[in-house]
Amino acid sequence: MAQQTEGATHFGSQEVPLADKQLLVDGVFRSVARRYDLMNDLMSGGLHRAWKAALITALNPPKNTKPFSLLDVAGGTGDIAFRAAEAGGEGFHAVVCDINPDMLTVGRERAAKHALEHRISFVEGNAEQLQFPDRHFDAYTIAFGIRNVPRIENALKEAFRVLRPGGRFLCLEFSHVDLPGLERLYELYSFNIIPVLGRIVTGDADAYRYLVESIRQFPKPTAFADMIRAAGFSRVSFETMSAGIVTLHSGWRL
């Protein structure tokens, strides 16, 4: 991860004051909320579905009436929560927490459309200062969202705080390609094709240029695993997928 000065962080390739990053990120997701899920399909060629399926398999919510409470952070449109609800039984309930109200609006509309309002709740909130009690959830998930948090260490500490003993942390995030020869092709695609797709589909190329640049700034898997351990988690592990394009991180509150 690129070095940053004290009180500053990166918004894409630009160094910005730490306090400003959240507002800038909010602007990105406000502009693309209605087409966010479509863009995920286009950008990944549908692979994001397989990556999310791997997360749900790891989550493995009970398929019976046993109560199971999931907190899905930065999950505004509800994609992870819907998949988890489908995999779980009648005892499953998810809270989707996102700082962006436009993304949450889309999620609530989708939940109503699929008659899932009784199993999935939507709450506006900040990953760095969660409004939930200590030891409240059985699992915490965050998919393609943690790299947008200004103070990642704070978000990890909050994840640990709200999990019950025995609870699991799962983070799906873009990573660093580890297959020789593919890295250059991936960079060319990311920086030249994805912003064009963003302009065509959402009318906002800059938003997707930021999202691509933010991947480059995110820690490599071993470094991020160390951050998860530092937040208090045990049995920390990670699994790279699609030649390192994506990594699924796991940790337990024991």
Q: What CATH number has the domain bearing residue 204?
A: 3.40.50.150
Q: Which residue has the higher pLDDT, 112 or 38?
A: 112
pTM of the complete model: 0.83
Whether 3 is in a domain gets the answer no
Range of the domain at 193: 8-252
Percent of the chain scoring above 70 in pLDDT: 81
Contact yes or no for 85/116 (Cβ under 8 A): yes
Alpha helix stretches (DSSP H) within 33-121: 36-44, 47-59, 79-87, 101-113
Structurally, the chain folds into a number of domains equal to 1
Whether 111 is in a domain gets the answer yes
3-state secondary structure of 62: coil
Whether 2 is in a domain gets the answer no
216: pLDDT strictly greater than 60: yes
Whether 202 is in a domain gets the answer yes
In sequence order, what are the beta bridge partners of 96? 72, 122
Contacts of 6 (CB under 8 A, 6+ apart): none
Among 17-26, 42-51, 55-64, top mean pLDDT goes to: 55-64
**Considering the chain, what is the average pLDDT of its residues?**
85
Q: What is the pLDDT of residue 187?
A: 78
**pLDDT tens-digit series, residues 48-97:** 899 999 999 999 999 999 999 999 999 988 999 999 999 999 999 999 99
- Measured CA to CA, the distance from residue 148 to residue 152 in angstroms comes to 8
